[in-house]
């Protein structure tokens, strides 16, 4: 593992690291922001999962999150969105293959060779982060769009691992929308029963932990009615008695302008849980 970028930022350090991944069978990159407090004591970690077409760069260059992480003493970790490199399967279109790992463990060839983003995010990446940086045992997770789906599913599938979870414009029911149906049929096959463990709305009904969900959704998002469907999350949580704070934001679209507008509130929310 070695550092390929390092920039002074709000009293801390924004870095990008590269390492060989045994889980994914390729070389991976992730961004890590170390707040100034990390030079004095271990700090909790907020993992950020990005959306379709993104890499680790989108969040670290567009969100403005470092300012708030420095204020609250939180380490930010932003992995890439899929495996990459020679021999890694890809397909035509932005919503499948490279940049579109969907944070699942693929079971169908050729995807199953490399596309195990769930295990990478949950197991391998935190082990690397904890071994190389001054982390405490407290973790939280958040993300946007496909990464919002990933954050919700990862938290729901791993009770007790995260102290808090939030999402911006998540794909809440991928089994029922075109993005998810395309990805799941490729990665997991055509048996829809195999999709259920990777669908947040399906997982909520059987959740053993009622970790509160914080979700921000722009009302001017061009994907709200066709791909995101936040009303399904509201209805599912209401039926299951699962705590949900769904905040609909007038005028906001699907972009990083939206994320940058409210990332400070999300980091403060996670900081309360992480430090508490």
Candidates 8, 31, 33, 7; CA nearest to 18 is: 31
Distance CA 47, CA 266 (A): 12
Q: 254 catalytic, yes or no?
A: yes
For 117, the enclosing helix (H) or strand (E) is: helix 117-119
| 11 touches 34 (CB < 8 A) | no
**Burial class of 146 by CB neighbour count within 10 A (0 to 12, 13 to 18, 19+):** buried
Q: Which of 80, 186, 221, 270 is catalytic?
A: 221
Q: Which of 144, 252, 254, 266 is catalytic?
A: 254
Q: 145 catalytic, yes or no?
A: yes
For 154, the enclosing helix (H) or strand (E) is: helix 146-157
Distance CA 135, CA 167 (A): 23
Q: Which of 145, 164, 186, 266 is catalytic?
A: 145
Q: 272 catalytic, yes or no?
A: no
Residues pairing with 139 in the sheet: 45
Q: Please report the beta strands in the chain, taking only residues with DSSP state E, as ranges in sequence order.
A: 2-9, 12-21, 26-34, 43-49, 75-79, 135-143, 164-168, 213-218, 244-249
| 105 touches 148 (CB < 8 A) | no
- What are the tokens at 46? 């907020």
End-to-end CA distance of the chain: 32
Distance CA 115, CA 93 (A): 17
Length of the chain: 276
Catalytically annotated residues: 145, 221, 254
């Amino acid at each position: 593992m070695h550092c390929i970028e390092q920039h002074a930022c709000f009293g801390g350090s924004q870095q990008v690291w590269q390492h060989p991944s045994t889980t994914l069978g390729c070389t991976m990159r992730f961004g890590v922001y170390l707040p100034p407090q990390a030079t004095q004591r271990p700090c909790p970690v907020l993992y950020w999962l990005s959306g379709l077409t993104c890499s680790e760069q989108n969040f670290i260059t567009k969100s403005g999150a470092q300012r708030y992480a420095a204020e609250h003493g939180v380490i930010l970790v932003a992995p890439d969105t899929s495996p990459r490199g020679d021999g890694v399967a890809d397909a035509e279109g932005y919503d499948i293959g490279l940049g579109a790992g969907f944070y699942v463990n693929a079971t169908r060839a050729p995807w199953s060779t490399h596309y195990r983003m769930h295990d990478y995010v949950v197991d391998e990446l935190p082990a690397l982060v904890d071994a190389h940086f001054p982390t405490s045992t407290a973790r939280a997770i958040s993300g946007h769009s496909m990464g919002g789906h990933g954050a919700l599913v990862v938290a729901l599938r791993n009770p007790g691992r995260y102290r808090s979870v939030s999402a911006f414009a998540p794909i809440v029911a991928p089994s029922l929308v075109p993005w998810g149906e395309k990805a799941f049929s490729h990665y997991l096959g055509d048996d829809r029963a195999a999709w259920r463990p990777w669908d947040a709305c399906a997982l909520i009904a059987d959740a053993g932990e009622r970790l509160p969900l914080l979700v921000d959704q722009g009302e001017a998002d061009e994907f709200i009615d066709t791909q995101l469907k936040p009303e399904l999350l509201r209805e599912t949580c209401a039926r299951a008695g699962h705590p949900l704070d769904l905040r609909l934001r007038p005028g906001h679209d699907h972009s990083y302008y939206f994320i940058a507008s409210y990332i400070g509130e999300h980091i403060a929310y996670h900081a309360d849980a992480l430090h508490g």
